[in-house]
Amino acid sequence: MLITLLPVLAVLVSLPWWLPGRIVALRARIFARINGDEGIPVPGDLVGVERFKEVYSHPAAGGRSKGAALSDLFWYWLAPGPEMHQEHLEAGERYDAVARVTRGLLAVPRAEAEELTRRCVARTLGDVRGLVRLRDLMMPLWAEVSYELVFAEPCPRAARDLIVANANDVVTSLKCTGLRHMERRLRLTRYLTGRLTRVRLPLPPGLTPEEQAYYLQGAFFNTAVVQMSEAMAHLLMVLAQHPDVQERARTGDARYLDQVISETLRLYPLFGIAHRITTGAIPLDERNAIPAGSVLCFNYPEFHRAGFDDPGRFDPGRFRADDVHRPAAKELNHIPFGVAANRPCPAWRLAPITMRVAAQEILRRCSLDSSAVHTRSLPNRGPCLLTPLGAARRPRAALAYMRVRDRWEDVWRSLAQLVLGTYMVWDARRQRLCERHFDDRDD
Ligand code: HEM
């Protein structure tokens, strides 16, 4: 009896080692099938890595949403109000007005930004310890930071809960680990609509109150919170898995931590692909051009690997400014905040400053260990063990437990992602939020 069951047992026990990888590949095939193969991958056969930045920076690589089936999917995940999300607005007066307000709200002097981050860490993390998920741990912190950037006053607990519920729902659906819960998101929209007059700078004129609330929700209470929480989860995972780097970051100067942040965002860029729709032809040579209306898919992870020795290795030394044998930072294939000529991230200056302070504050309080798998999409939300500095550390048993739990969670999670992801891609194609929006405007 036992002998006949052995092969079944062997398959079951080995599931964590082979099933998640196959499901990811299957999911990619299903997504491609539903979405169609409309995109031109960059780098790829048509545009090599050496012309990546040139094509990304080309004035004709400017369309954001209209004309790409892929946009329906992003709009679905970012709803409500995806048509007011800065990232997805087409160039024009409306975009300029919105981008100006975002720049204003993010233009905080360095010392103030550092102080704000310190204050919010103290309020949200307190004496956190034990087994945590780093992304979840980070969300209340960045919810409070964003709230203060927008309203210039401390974030009430009820508002923080609304913001975290909204951001969590967006990122969970983006990673296909859960479905959208629109009611949760709309509760935040209603709250923001009631507070528009309290924003510390005038909001873009010419927008309805609902559009103004959608704009704030999209940029500051969805993108800012999600991106900062993800970036910090990656940074803390890296520190947890490289004890020597962690020790040096704790005791060394700030420049070293900046190198660690740069290398973390090189290996784990927050964008997998950023897409653009060409508004005119982009010449490649005398005979060939990328035609207007093409969907260019800029692949960040691939670009960040090209041109580095042993690109999969984590090595903050790649960003040492004092090494004369290394290329200058701007010559490296490293664009964690996008390209300057084509709608880069408006938080490119503020984000690393606040990340550094948050990391310093956490390192001052505890040591970090993790045996979980660390991938760019981080669907496990960064399992980590936090031990207060100075307390007795016996992480072995906890890390063994974390490793086994993480591998098994990966099995059921990848199955859930396959089912939920396929449903959401289908539902987004059915709803055609972006296509319908532009059809209505063209009528
Ligand atoms: C470490 C954290 C962050 C990283 C790595 C990051 C990365 C990026 C990247 C790569 C882009 C450009 C994508 C493209 O070319 O399509 C972008 C755009 C954007 N980011 Fe960030 N981001 C971060 C934090 C933030 C924060 C804190 C905000 C706060 C408002 C923010 C708001 C935006 C907006 C509004 C855009 C669209 C810009 C436009 O089209 O005008 N990001 N981000």
Give the residue whose CA is nearest to atom 3 of ligand 1.
227
3-state secondary structure 197-215: HHCCCCCCCCCCHHHHHHH
Say if residue 34's pLDDT is above 60: no
The token duo for 163 is: 């913001």
User: Which of ligand 1's atoms lies nearest the C-alpha of 344?
Assistant: 12
Q: Is the distance from the beta carbon of residue 414 to the nearest atom of ligand 1 less than 6 Å?
A: no
Give the residue whose CA is nearest to atom 11 of ligand 1.
345
So what's the pLDDT on residue 303?
97
Give the residue whose CA is nearest to atom 43 of ligand 1.
345
Give the residue whose CA is nearest to atom 40 of ligand 1.
87
Q: Is the distance from the beta carbon of residue 228 to the nearest atom of ligand 1 less than 6 Å?
A: yes
Cα–Cα distance between 117 and 129 in angstroms, integer? Answer: 20
User: Which of ligand 1's atoms lies nearest the C-alpha of 99?
Assistant: 41
Burial of 284 (0-12, 13-18, 19+ CB in 10 A): middle
Q: Are 265 and 336 in contact (CB under 8 A)?
A: yes
Domains and CATH numbers, the chain: 18-442 (1.10.630.10)
Most informative mutation of 57, 89, 147, 227 for ligand 1 (most atoms within 8 A of CB):
227
Q: What DSSP string describes 212-279?
A: HHHHHHHIIIIIHHHHHHHHHHHHHHHHHH-HHHHHHHHHS-HHHHHHHHHHHHHHS-S-SEEEEE-S
Q: Are 259 and 316 in contact (CB under 8 A)?
A: yes
The token duo for 248 is: 């040096």
Cα–Cα distance between 23 and 9 in angstroms, integer? Answer: 20
User: Which of ligand 1's atoms lies nearest the C-alpha of 298?
Assistant: 15
Q: Is the distance from the beta carbon of residue 338 to the nearest atom of ligand 1 less than 6 Å?
A: yes
Amino acid present at 237: M
Q: Is the distance from the beta carbon of residue 223 to the nearest atom of ligand 1 less than 6 Å?
A: yes
User: Which of ligand 1's atoms lies nearest the C-alpha of 231?
Assistant: 1
Distance 26 CA to ligand 1 centre (A): 29
Say if residue 18's pLDDT is above 60: yes
Q: Is the distance from the beta carbon of residue 232 to the nearest atom of ligand 1 less than 6 Å?
A: no
Min mean pLDDT across 31-40, 86-95, 111-120, 143-152 is at 31-40
Distance 175 CA to ligand 1 centre (A): 18
Q: Is the distance from the beta carbon of residue 343 to the nearest atom of ligand 1 less than 6 Å?
A: yes
User: Which of ligand 1's atoms lies nearest the C-alpha of 86?
Assistant: 35
List the one residue out of 387, 376, 378, 377 whose CA is nearest residue 406. 378
Distance 156 CA to ligand 1 centre (A): 26
The token duo for 175 is: 């990673």
Please compute the mean of the pLDDT values over residues 138-166 and round it to a whole number.
Answer: 98
User: Which of ligand 1's atoms lies nearest the C-alpha of 88?
Assistant: 40
Q: Quick one: what percent of the chain has pLDDT higher than 90?
A: 81
Question: What are 237-253's pLDDT values in tens digits?
Answer: 999 999 999 999 999 88
Backbone phi and psi for residue 151, each to the nearest 5 degrees, phi listed first: -110, -5
Q: Which helix or strand (DSSP H or E) is residue 328 part of?
A: none
Question: What are 36-54's pLDDT values in tens digits?
Answer: 667 899 999 999 999 999 9
Q: Are 53 and 339 in contact (CB under 8 A)?
A: yes
Q: Which helix or strand (DSSP H or E) is residue 432 part of?
A: none
Question: What are 309-347's pLDDT values in tens digits?
Answer: 999 999 999 998 877 667 776 789 999 999 999 999 999
- Please state the length of the chain: 443
Q: Is the distance from the beta carbon of residue 264 to the nearest atom of ligand 1 less than 6 Å?
A: no
User: Which of ligand 1's atoms lies nearest the C-alpha of 95?
Assistant: 41
Q: What DSSP string describes 346-407?
A: TTTTHHHHHHHHHHHHHHHHEEEE--S---TT-TT--EEEEEETTS---HHHHHHHHHHHHH
Please compute the mean of the pLDDT values over residues 64-82 and round it to a whole number.
Answer: 93
Burial of 357 (0-12, 13-18, 19+ CB in 10 A): buried
> What's the DSSP call for residue 319?
G
Distance 345 CA to ligand 1 centre (A): 4
Residue 443: how many CB atoms within 10 A of its CB?
A: 5
Q: Are 413 and 52 in contact (CB under 8 A)?
A: no
List the one residue out of 93, 101, 106, 85 whose CA is nearest residue 204. 101
Amino acid present at 115: E
Say if residue 258's pLDDT is above 90: yes
So what's the pLDDT on residue 289?
94
Cα–Cα distance between 220 and 201 in angstroms, integer? Answer: 14
Say which residues have a Cβ less than 8 Å from residue 349's Cβ, sequence separation at least 6.
106
User: Which of ligand 1's atoms lies nearest the C-alpha of 271?
Assistant: 10
Cα–Cα distance between 351 and 371 in angstroms, integer? Answer: 27
Q: Are 355 and 114 in contact (CB under 8 A)?
A: no
